[in-house]
Amino acid sequence: MDAHPLDPLTAAELVAGRDVLVAEGLVGETTRFPAVLPEEPAKSAVAVDRRIRFTLLDTATGRAGDAVVSVTKRELVSWEELGEGQPAFMFEEYDLAQQITKASEGWQAAMARRGLTDRIEHAFCAPLAPGYFPRDDEHGRVIRSLTFLRDDEHDSPWARPVEGLIVHIDLTERRVLRIEDEGDVPVPAEHGRYWDVPARTTLKPIEITQPEGPSFTVNGAEVVWEGWRLRVGFNAREGLTLHEVSFQDRSVLYRASVPEMVVPYGDIAPGRFWISYFDAGEYLLGKNANNLRLGCDCLGVIHYFPAFLADDHGRPVEIPQAICLHEEDHGIFWKHTDLAGHPEVRRSRRLVISSIVTVGNYDYGFYWYLYLDGTIELEAKATGVVFAGGGIPGEQQPHATEIAPGLFAPVHQHLFCARLDVAIDGERNSVHEVDVVGVPTGPDNPHGNAFTWQNTLLSKESEAIRLADPAKARVWEIRSADRTNRLGIPTAYQLVPRPSATLMAQPESSVHARATFATKHLWATPYRADERYPAGDRPNAHSGGAGLPAWTAADRDLTDTDVVLWHVFGLTHVPRPEDWPVMPVDRAGFMLRPYGFSDRNPALDLPSGGHCHT
């Protein structure tokens, strides 16, 4: 079967693309591949030309560039050296950072001064993105490292921080730039082995069966289910992507993904004030994807999609079960008991498309839900191990909570940005803000009970930089310019936020400049193929200002055009003892809900199921 232009990359394509670069003389002994991504075609493209964008890094010199290769034509399309910002970190650099740290006489001396010489062998030296705090000795590819003690190589690496010991490393020159060694806080004594707890025996099994098989069909990357049709994608940076999503043979989304997230910390301690991870741009979400396991990550009748990614040397690596597709029961869908006492009830069901990634200490699950009435929901689930530092047991800290004796977890945020290339009954759409408001008591509200809704067209980019407002039940409505329903109203979908805090850092902070996208819940832009990442192409070691703030400065028109919505949502985490030693799932997300897209309830024809008993 011929490849669709939006299909994920294959192993053969990755090999072919790398071969072109080798033939062009762009790959040498010290060349590495921090990012290898599908170069998706423009919407107007007719011919299938499968392309790959390779980010190349010469580890000996630090020079980096982007090469676009046509694997259809087996030729180099373009080559460009990178400007500001660094490519994402690579797996081999994590090991390199630890090797450089442990070989450093300064680090060894700091450990000896603290009486920890006998703990060096199994110590874990975490490789962490540096943020943007340029010092005179920091040029190019810099990473920072914090130290944690372990009893052995299988021990939890996050439970026993060596507080105040920070190592700054130049990865290109392979040397320690400087070491900070502040304070003499005791290392927490308690281990973090969450897997060592005896399992309870009181839970009885729950079995999920579909004896006639699932209701969906899969053809390559295309999925069809109960009026829905879409293509499932995956790439090394964003991870899971959705393409050409339609409901009842009408377009809803051209593309949907989570192209960036930022995890800023609110602690002023030397080992944490600079932490503001961009998990997509600095670490690559997709490259850190899990191979999902039946009965654990996914339950029921499952279809798995594989993903082929490139390793640090540009060679293909398969994640056999990177994406899970299944159906699940979701309670009642609609019900009414008539005046004669006769009930009619139909059960809800949703299609779940999910992927899970692990970036260091945290795990993130991304779950796209499709519902029987045309609703789309994205839920991001955060779990894993909270990042913590050491402190004096029982002391009060203004920026961190004590979650175990002497272990303090800083306040922080997980702010995701979804990119929604909407196509509500076609590409010509407009965005409206809809608020529900009270009406002042008077002639228009003589009894004081009235309220109504207000509609505001967001016609320019400057008007579409917005905050959610739960007090007004605020939603953003995307209306078609080309189709109306039977009531003569433009067909539409509403973006329904689940309100959450935006970026808490101050406007003059470094992270505010680098993650400006996270200061608002909504941005809207006209579609441009090269506007993909809300913090810019390379947030790693970037000073800021790239991405959404740069694009929207042009204040382009948004009326009846090909609109892209950027929605920020997430979690603000004040850690608690219940989050240790492994954190229960915390959830954030939003819905895209049809509003006048259908002429009536599109799920009236659901079968009753025959399982209701009195």
Q: Could you list the active site residues?
A: 279, 362
Q: Which residue has the tokens 């599908």?
A: 38
Distance CA 319, CA 311 (A): 12
Q: Is the peptide bond before 214 cis (omega within 30 degrees of 0)?
A: no
Calpha distance 582→195 (Å, rounded): 9
CA-derived radius of gyration, the chain? 26
In the structure, how many helices (H) and strands (E) does the chain have?
Answer: 5, 30
DSSP H or E run through 255: strand 250-264
CA-to-CA distance for 505 and 518, rounded, in angstroms? Answer: 10
Q: Please tell me the number of Cα atoms within 13 Å of 230 on its side-chain side.
A: 29
DSSP per residue over 5-31, as a string?
A: TTSPP-HHHHHHHHHHHHHTT---TTE
Yes or no: say if 64 and 31 are a contact pair by the CB < 8 Å rule: no
Residue 253 CB contacts under 8 Å (≥ 6 apart), including other chains: 242, 244, 245, 376, 420, 421, 422, 423, 592
Map residue 58 onto helix, strand or coil. Answer: strand
The most distant pair of C-alpha atoms in the chain lies apart, rounded to whole Å, by 85
Structure tokens at 423: 């196509």
DSSP state of 53: E
The terminus-to-terminus CA distance of the chain in angstroms comes to 52
Output b/e per residue, 313-345; b: 16+ Cβ within 10 A: ebebeebebbbbbbbeeeeebeeeeeeeeeeee
Residues 324, 235: Cα–Cα separation, whole Å: 15
